[in-house]
Amino acid sequence: MADTDREDEELFTEPSGTQSQPASLSTEDVSANTNGPNQDALFDDDPEDLFAEATEEVSLDSPERDILLSDGPSPAITPITPPTSVIAPRIGHTHDDMFTHSSFDEIEEEEVDDSFDINISVSDPEKVGEYVVHPVQEQKTSMSLFKQREFSVKRRFSDFLGLHSKLASKYLHVGYIVPPAPEKSIVGMTKVKVGKEDQSSNEFVEKRRSALERYLMRTVKHHILLKDPDVLQFLESSELPRAVSTQALSSAGLLRMVNKAADAVNKMTIKMNESDAWFEEKQQHFESLDVQLRKLHISVESLVCHRKELSVNTAQFAKSAAMLGNSEDHTALSRALSQLAEVEEKMDQLHQDQANADFYLFSELLGDYVRLLAAVKGVFDHRIKTWQKWQDSQILLQKKREAEAKLQFTNKSDKLQQAKDEIKDMEGRVQQDERDFEQISRTIRKEVGRFEKERVKDFKTSIIKYLESLVLTQQQVIKSYFTFRYVTASV
């Protein structure tokens, strides 16, 4: 009940109008309606409180939102200071430690996305009160869109999820490819919350930090998303209201799940008459790309695993060689064996470092793109839904026309008038739906172009970095063995 209320209040007044029946609402729509408190998955308070807060939030924000959003997805946006009336977040929210991250470095922006140059970095988490936060530093150049040159904010993991949620609900269904946020990991989070200080939890922390950084960078690289007020607020505000609907078990979460299921069914039953070969070709292209990237991802994950094994085995061998050297009674040979142990210890370290590079520069890149492709697919699916809506309106119009025709032969003039009015409305709707469809088709074309360009650039940059890491390793190997050889030859 509460959900629908919020939805009515807080509407996208974008030209493409989402004032549709609840049934065709995507899951994101529901969650986005709350500008309310963010929550992390399972560790949260009773829903009651959250919803109460949420309503508050929305009423304060919505007028501003309307202004911002009425500009639609066009690049020209009037500079707006983010609402200073942003609600103070719920401090003293008893639950657990959540990660708060994010810092920015430089933000410059131009109208066109190509010469874009923003740098964001997310730092390691630290605890502030009950939460875990990331410390932050940054600078930026002046830009009308932002209030200050530099900023530094502290954000919790749930804040990131909340941001994505909002962006997805606003932009996905009109054809924009919104970068997906990093996934929640209950196991990982529990370990960290419990305070377990071991290698796997350190790895988890770093993995998450890196993922959040990449997520933000991708989001701000999108020229439309960068200007979104939610993004600006996320980047700038010292306090951020918390999102409620990211909670998996909330009613919002449940509704999300139901809608997802409905979507899946719809996908199976909608058969679109594709008049545009471009879309068909692109869909196939993305499908095959998805298959290949997944396969590559698996192979690289295997590489990471084997390299870690190599590191462990090398370390063990080094220890064993050291013991052998101790046992050796020929002095010079004993020294050589100790040297061998040292060299292999260095190799162990190199292999470890290389495994990290394998992971962060190659494996994670692939993982990100597998999830990005899911977002791309989603956007194509939305187009089909939009088409379907248009078809449905046309059918309805036809029915109304038929009904009106029948009424012509009766003497119910008042009913006839009503029918004629309804037809007029319906015609308007059909036209709107058609415009929506054309709009989303146009947007997708542009987006796909942007995405592909970005993808190629992204891969190239990362792969070059990765290859450079491999080169570095090899150079270290050469150095180490060179010294070793010199010592051993004199045995």
Residues that bind another protein (CB under 8 A): 285, 288-289, 292-293, 295-296, 299-300, 302-303, 306-307, 309-310, 313-314, 316-317, 320-321, 323-324, 327-330, 332-333, 336-337, 340, 343, 452, 456, 459-460, 463-464, 467-468, 470-471, 474-475, 477-478, 481-482, 484-485, 488-489, 491
Whole-angstrom distance, CA of residue 441 vs CA of residue 245: 30
Q: How far is the CB of 277 from another protein (least distance, A)?
A: 15
Residue (207 or 282) nearer to another protein, CB:
282
Residue (43 or 481) nearer to another protein, CB:
481
Whole-angstrom distance, CA of residue 298 vs CA of residue 304: 10
Q: How far is the CB of 172 from another protein (least distance, A)?
A: 25
Q: How far is the CB of 485 from another protein (least distance, A)?
A: 4
Contacts of range 270-275, beta carbons closer than 8 Å, 24 or more positions apart: 270/384, 270/385, 270/388, 272/384, 272/387, 272/388
Residue (345 or 436) nearer to another protein, CB:
345
Q: How far is the CB of 446 from another protein (least distance, A)?
A: 17
Return the structure tokens found at 25: 């609402």
Q: How far is the CB of 451 from another protein (least distance, A)?
A: 12
Residue (14 or 328) nearer to another protein, CB:
328
60, 18, 50, 95: which is closest to 251 by C-alpha? Answer: 50
Q: How far is the CB of 475 from another protein (least distance, A)?
A: 6
Q: What one-letter code names the amino acid at 412?
A: K
Q: How far is the CB of 120 from another protein (least distance, A)?
A: 25
Residue (296 or 370) nearer to another protein, CB:
296
Report helix angle 251-269 to 364-408, nearest 10.
70
Residue (128 or 477) nearer to another protein, CB:
477
Residue (219 or 339) nearer to another protein, CB:
339
Give the CA distances from residue 320 to residues 311, 341, 393, in Å, rounded to whole numbers and listed in that order: 14, 8, 77
69, 82, 73, 2: which is closest to 34 by C-alpha? Answer: 2
Whole-angstrom distance, CA of residue 66 vs CA of residue 218: 26
Half-sphere exposure at residue 190, Cβ-oriented, CA atoms within 13 angstroms: 6
Can you tell me whether residue 121 is helix, strand or coil? strand
143, 132, 117: which is closest to 217 by C-alpha? Answer: 117
Question: Is residue 386 within 8 Å of 440, Cβ to Cβ?
Answer: yes
Dihedral sign (CA 349, 351, 353, 355): negative
Q: CA angle at residue 99 from 208 to 201, to 5 degrees?
A: 50
Question: Is residue 134 within 8 Å of 102, Cβ to Cβ?
Answer: yes
Residue (262 or 296) nearer to another protein, CB:
296
Q: How far is the CB of 450 from another protein (least distance, A)?
A: 14
Q: How far is the CB of 354 from another protein (least distance, A)?
A: 10
